[in-house]
Structure 1
Amino acid sequence: MSAIGKGFVKCLCCYLIILLAVTLLAPVFTPYDPLSVGLMNILQPPTAAHLFGTDQLGRDVFARLLYGGRVSLAVGGAAMLLSVSFGTGYGVISGFLGGMADRIMMRVLDALLSIPSILLMIGIQVFIPASFLSVVIVIGMTSWMPIARLIRTEILSLKGEIFIQASVVVGASPAQLLIRHLLPQSLPTIIVMSITGVSHAILSEATLSFFGIGIPPHEPSWGNMLMGAQSYVLSGAWWIALFPGLLITFTVLAVTFLGDVLQDRFALPQLKRSGKW
């Protein structure tokens, strides 16, 4: 990797670390309560007292950004863990069993993949009470299918390797094959899918909250802030939507670029070994 590439990766990591630290230490960086309503301070533009202005209820936008970041990032991390865990398990079982079981599981997966994930999320979420847990479950359980397909392909590819066949010959059990060989070899793919899954979950939470069926409106999140701002932006209160929109954009781009860089980094040794690089 070139010096410019390494510097770019460091910038991405620094941004994400700073963002995580600032949101976790939100009380240190702002004296305002994100839920405190100030009817005398409604729709104030950015000032020294309120760095990012106030919203339609007089709440400090900067404070809501920091506390809302906790919710949005927590949803991203928790939903990612759920989707990666379920998708990895499904893909490993399908690829390892092979035969008729693999074909049946893949047809089920194809049927689920034929439904747009955002429509599936909205269709499920409208029928259950909005809460942090419900949003995590809905996002996690509607985004595992691409992960399962990739892991299944990885397992099928690894099963044909000589060292796997040699392990079978010397009497390795299925559990030993999975734990000692197949899962460790699939770890780079799992890591990359985990990182990119965070950005997908953050965007999904923002979308659901924007439609009013995600995080409950009284709890700050970046998606809720955009939802509350849609009626006031055209009247001149641009700051209500600008700052949460920028945070969502920069965070999703940073996580996505980091995933792409790691994917290239993990793929490079494999290309060298195969003689394609």
Structure 2
Amino acid sequence: MSDAASNDVIDQVERSRSSKIWNRFVGILRLSPTAAVGLMIILFFALLAIFAPWIMPHDPVAAYTDRVLQAPSAEHWFGTDGNGMDVFSRVIYGAKFGFGIAIPAVLISLLIGVPVGLIAGYRGGLLDEVLMRFFDGLRVFPSIILALAVVAATGQSLLNVVLVLGLLDSPVFARVVRAEVLALRSSNFVESAIAAGNPTWRILFVHLLPNAIQGAMAQTAVRAAWAVRISATLAFLGVGIQAPTPEWGAMIRQGAEFMVSGQWWVGLYPGLALIFLVFGLNLFGDGLQDLMDPRRRTAK
């Protein structure tokens, strides 16, 4: 095959792949416009996080002592903060922490909650009661109060914030998976698997998990929005990631101090970024639930 023919084949494959991706996106848009809009917002912030080093016009932690609290201008689009740092660059870099907290926290919640929900729902009895009562105990206290106490005790670091949020949110996934397993454990395919001599781990992770995971997956985007919001709240309250690290919650906290004196831009722009990311995650999560549950889509 000649080089020209080979290039034509490669171009056709790439066009076919692009067409499939576009058709899939159009399909999502038709089935759930909410999910499509939320996905576009999430992708926008994801691109900011990925390409932040090339998009930021200034170093996000570089302090310009001669430019403290400058209003938005051609050089500093979102103005500067109380340390003379460029707010626009810091808002862009803050997207890294939004995703850097939300994604690991949700993964930890899934890794804890899904196996517990599987075991509790399948075994039932005393084991179910003990596991669920422990998780209910985590949900009794207001999440923000418990997160404040744990992070304050363990230390203000990104890793501690992620671990705490992942642990506190795991009962949500455990409850969802357990409910699905309770409805499935008497099904014919489970009884057939037991009769065939399959070990418990295989019944749980091969037969039950694929049928019980949909509800949990539909919750991931909503719980990621919760993780972003709580992590920003912790930073705003002075517990969690702190300045000069460009995290939106910490930036809003600093901006609140200058709002009364007229420097509104310090806290406004990170606040808007936080609102839009949480809004996009919630939209995508709601649309994802519609896509995975046709009954909800029909009701709408």
Instruction: Please report the TM-score for the alignment, with normalisation by the length of structure 2.
Output: 0.85
Pick the aligned partner of 2:186 from 160, 169, 176: 160
Q: Give the alignment partner of residue 116 of structure 1, picking from 142, 160, 178.
A: 142
Q: Does 1:219 align with 2:245?
A: yes
Q: Which amino acid aligns with 1:261?
A: G
**Cα distance in 1 between the residues matched to 2:87 and 2:93:** 10
- Report the equivalent of 1:126: 152
Task: Tell whether 2:293 aligns with 1:267.
Answer: yes
Cα deviation, 1:158-206, whole Å, max 9, x if unaligned, reads 1122221222223322122122221101221221122222111100110
Alpha-carbon distance between aligned partners in 2 of 1:76 and 1:2, rounded to the nearest angstrom: 23
C-alpha distance in structure 2 between counterparts of 1:132 and 1:271, whole Å = 38
Distance (whole Å) between structure 2 residues aligned to residue 79 and residue 193 of structure 1? 13
Question: Partner of 2:14 in structure 1?
Answer: none
Q: 1:25 aligns with which of 34, 40, 51?
A: 51
2:265 match = 239
Answering whether residue 114 of structure 2 is matched by residue 88 of structure 1, we say yes
User: Residue 162 of structure 2 aligns with which residue?
Assistant: 136
> 3-state SS of the aligned residue for 1:121?
helix
Work out which of the residue numbers 59, 63, 72 in structure 1 matches 2:98: 72
* Equivalent-residue separation in structure 2 for 1:174 and 1:271 (angstroms): 35
**1:244 maps to amino acid:** P
Q: Quote how far apart the aligned CAs of 1:271 are.
A: 9.7
1:250 and 2:270 are equivalent in the alignment: no
Q: How does 1:41-52 map to 2 (within 5 A)?
A: 41-52=67-78
Give 1 or 2: higher helix fraction.
2
> Equivalents in 2 of 1:34, 1:103: separation in Å?
49
CA distance in 2, matches of 1:3, 1:63: 32
Partners of 1:66 and 1:222 lie apart in 2 by 10
Pick closer, same or farther for the CA change 1:42–1:198 going to 2, 3 Å: same
Deviation, structure 1 residue 216:
2.9
User: Is 2:105–2:162's contact at 8 Å kept on the other side of the alignment?
Assistant: yes
Question: Displacement, 1:77?
Answer: 0.9
Identity %: 31
1:69-97 alpha-carbon deviations (Å, 9 max, x no partner):
11122011111111121111221121121
Letter in 1 for 2:272: L
Contact 2:176 2:216 survives alignment (8 Å):
no
| CA positional deviation for 1:38 | 0.9
Mean Cα deviation higher: 54-63 or 138-147: 138-147
- C-alpha contact 1:209 1:224 (8 A) present in aligned 2: yes
Rounded to whole Å, the distance in 2 between the matches of 1:40 and 1:268 is 58
The SS at the match of 1:54 is coil
Post-superposition Cα deviations, 1:48-68, rounded to whole Å, max 9, x if no partner, equal 111111111111001001111
- The residue number in structure 1 matching 2:80 is 54
Partner of 2:176: 150
| 2:3 matched residue in structure 1 | none
Cα 1:225/1:149, change in 2 over 3 Å: same
Residue type of the partner of 2:118? V
Contact 1:83 1:141 in 2 (8 A): yes
* Matched residue, 2:4: none
- Segments of 5+ residues of structure 1 without an aligned counterpart are none
The answer to which of 105-114 and 92-101 deviates more is 105-114
Cα deviation for residue 10 of structure 1 reads 2.7
SS in 2 for 1:126: helix
Q: Gaps (5+ residues) in structure 2?
A: 1-26
CA RMSD, Structure 1 to Structure 2 (Å): 2.2
- Are residues 243 and 270 of structure 1, via their aligned partners in 2, closer, same or farther at CA, if it must alter by over 3 Å? closer
> What letter is aligned with 1:105?
L
Task: Look at both structures and tell me which one has the larger radius of gyration over its CA atoms.
Answer: 2
Q: 2:196 aligns with which of 170, 183, 186?
A: 170
Contact 2:235–2:250 (CA under 8 A) maintained in structure 1:
yes
From the superposition, tell whether residues 111 and 9 of structure 1 become closer, same or farther in structure 2 (CA, over 3 Å).
closer
